[in-house]
Structure 1
Amino acid sequence: MNVAAYALYDSRDKGRYMPLYGLLSGMLLWLLDAMVDVYVLQVPQTLVENLIFPPLFDIALRSGIIVLMVTLGVAARRKLKRQESLQQELLEYKNRLEELIELRAEEVRNPSDSVNSEITVLKDRTRDLEEIASIDGLTRFYNRRKFGDLIEYELARKQRYHHSLSLILVDIDRFSEIAAVHGQATSEHVIRSVANRIRSRIRATDIPARWSEDEFAILIPETRQGDARRLAQKLVKSIDGTLIDNFGLVSISCGVTEAQVHDNVELFTDRCVEAVRLAREGGGNQVEVL
């Protein structure tokens, strides 16, 4: 047992004599009380008489004190024994942990097939969790949280290399009516269909995302506002009056903006949100630029 372990656990029974200490302390208090009665309060008894034959009240009081001290001693002994038991248990856990650490270190130095298989499974699981955290399950576009990180990265790249950067927000016109009248299954089908149209008409370098329930965002690196507007107009025309299966006609509204020198994520996206709001309030099925 090393020094740290010895300091953690003392095998001696520290509480063995605690009840005896309580009894001796009570007897000492009995003696002190008798001395106070005789020499301070001038009780008409000798010290020996007061020790052996005190008044009944004093007997009860002193006996109660002795019982209390012994009881406290017993309680202290039990607590110390419990503490020692916990320390021993902790020491055993510590030794077991050291054994496991050494075992794992050996496995890392000389990985077995089972360990390699476990590592592969963990890597696959980590990749799956990263995808769940960043990909929208319905459209397979980036979700809004991940998209915010990508906007921040592209804005920093624009500031560093002075590249152009544009953003398009796409809103499905009257989507709330679609969801209210036709239900969730139909509304999800419309969302997937619009997402597929968007995917088929953007470049591989463009970054699509699901911005909200019925809105999509497209981050377009190295693209000026005019080119982004033409892309948005193509998207509007490609979906304008489109019959999606047996549902009915669908159209979209788009807002377009280009990143400015001092833009942060909030300024950049808020300007595009305002643009798509203007397009929607203007009757929909159109593009607005800010």
Structure 2
Amino acid sequence: MNRQKVQEYKTLYLLAKALEQTDDMVFITDTNGIIEYVNDSVSIKTGYEREELVGKKTNILKSGKHTQEFYKKLWATILSGQNYHNVIIDKTKDGRLYYADLKITPLFDDNQTIQNFVATSTDITNRIEMEKKLEKMATIDSLTGIYNRYKIDDEINLQIARCERYKEVFSIIMFDIDFFKVVNDTYGHDAGDRVLKVLSQLISKHIRVTDIFGRWGGEEFVIILSKTGEDEAFIIAEKLRKIVENYTIDGKYNITISSGVTQYIAPQSREELIKKVDEGLYLAKEKGRNQVVVV
């Protein structure tokens, strides 16, 4: 065997070893998506033995989490001879869903006709789950499980932008718990935390799907009411006030809330809007608490 042949054999051997030992999943399919080759990582990650996959279509891994349009776009891309890159949700043999960073490359013959597809994918489930966890931490109040102040700020900005672009109205309610300090001082901070949690759950059950509810801080809360003028917002706030007034938490605690209500009027800033509704809340307390004031 001459030196060139030896070098070619060595190169092929190294390529084969690389395919088998890489941590990435590697599939080779024909132009109809029939699997012709998988490396060991595919079996390790998906739970399928090689013989269970070879000869089958790649849809054996479909998770059901993508639309038909998603797969149509994928196939349209690679059948046109272009490379494809996306994050896809697939399913293992035992039904576990996983996220994969997928790249598909068409292989051409000497006539520039597509002969096969090579797909490489990296399991990025841990990264995606961590990103979701961090996103949740950034937007969700850890005590009550509703949105936090940062998320409410963002949502108000979005509502303002929508209002200015599409001339849609929206209103906000700001409320807090009357004499909440008494609850903490009398029953302790654990009881106070329990009241905040149950109140959040109670309000969440009685607002609309489109309403955005969050904890502003301490015992203060904000509800953003899209496509809602101040008259309707007042009715909603009054309904919630009565629900809270007539509810006994854990059979022990009876609380009331005071609320300010205001409608966004362009060109207010977020800060101006919050200041105005806060004035409504202050007036509700000045007038004796357990009431709603529109400003």
Larger radius of gyration: 1
Question: Which position in structure 2 is the counterpart of 1:284?
Answer: 289
1:248 equivalent among 250, 253, 258: 253
1:117 and 1:183 mapped to 2: Cα distance?
Answer: 50
Question: Which position in structure 2 is the counterpart of 1:160?
Answer: 165
Question: Which position in structure 2 is the counterpart of 1:63?
Answer: none
TM-score w.r.t. the length of structure 2 is: 0.59
Q: Does 1:239 align with 2:233?
A: no
Deviations along 1:155-200, whole A, 9 cap, x unmatched?
Answer: 1001000001100011100001111221111101111121112111
1:273 equivalent among 264, 278, 294: 278
1:145 and 1:288 mapped to 2: Cα distance?
Answer: 25
Structure having the higher helix fraction is 1
CA-CA distance at 1:109 after TM superposition: 9.6
Instruction: Select between 177-186 and 217-226 the one with higher mean Cα deviation.
Output: 177-186
Instruction: List alignment gaps of at least 5 residues for structure 2.
Output: 1-18, 28-40, 46-99, 101-120
Tell me the SS of whatever aligns to 2:254. strand
Q: 1:271 to 1:108 in 2, by over 3 A?
A: farther
CA-CA distance at 1:110 after TM superposition: 5.0
Q: 1:108 to 1:118 in 2, by over 3 A?
A: closer
CA-CA distance at 1:243 after TM superposition: 2.1
Instruction: List alignment gaps of at least 5 residues for structure 1.
Output: 1-102
CA-CA distance at 1:246 after TM superposition: 3.6
CA contact (8 A) 1:136 1:210 kept: yes
Tell me the SS of whatever aligns to 1:260. coil
2:212 equivalent among 190, 207, 210: 207
1:231 and 1:218 mapped to 2: Cα distance?
Answer: 10
Identical amino acids, percent of aligned pairs: 34
Task: Give, as a single letter, the amino acid of the residue that structure 1 aligns with 2:126.
Answer: V
- TM-align CA RMSD: 2.2
Question: Which position in structure 2 is the counterpart of 1:260?
Answer: 265
1:123 and 1:228 mapped to 2: Cα distance?
Answer: 38
Tell me the SS of whatever aligns to 2:124. helix
> Paired residues, what number?
187
The equivalences for 1:50-199 within 5 A come to 112-113=41-42, 118-199=123-204
Task: Give, as a single letter, the amino acid of the residue that structure 2 aligns with 1:249.
Answer: N
1:109 and 1:260 mapped to 2: Cα distance?
Answer: 55
Question: Which position in structure 2 is the counterpart of 1:66?
Answer: none
TM-score w.r.t. the length of structure 1 is: 0.60
1:210 and 1:126 mapped to 2: Cα distance?
Answer: 23
CA-CA distance at 1:248 after TM superposition: 2.8
Question: Which position in structure 2 is the counterpart of 1:221?
Answer: 226
CA contact (8 A) 2:25 2:122 kept: no
